[in-house]
Amino acid sequence: MFTLLIIVCNIFYHSSRITAFNENMAWRSSGASHRELIENLYKNGLIKDQRIKEAMLKVDRADFTDHKSDAYDDRPQSSNLYKLNY
């Protein structure tokens, strides 16, 4: 599962043109569920490739964060292992 997450993050990083100054990077894609978060990221243009979207839907973000209650907020999440940036 961890390997899949690393692969998805790597593909996402290399296939998008997102920068810290991108107009889409305004933390507006939060959702009430993992699916809603990913759909909002796709709808807002932060995920541009359907294959990336499908891969990200397979790995639930809440499995990798310390704070389950805000796992689907569109902001970096902390974890005791690493930081999630999608």
- What Å distances lie between residue 37 and 13, 69, 80, 85, CA to CA? 17, 14, 22, 13
Tokens at 34, concatenated: 């993992």
pTM, to two decimals: 0.62
Query: What is the pLDDT, as a whole number, of residue 26?
Result: 56
How far is 35 from 72, CA to CA, in rounded Å?
A: 9
Range of lowest pLDDT (1-5, 46-50, 53-57): 1-5
Mean pLDDT rounded to a whole number for the chain: 77
Question: Does 62 have pLDDT greater than 50?
Answer: yes
Per-domain residue ranges for the chain? 1-17+33-79
Amino acid letter for position 43: K
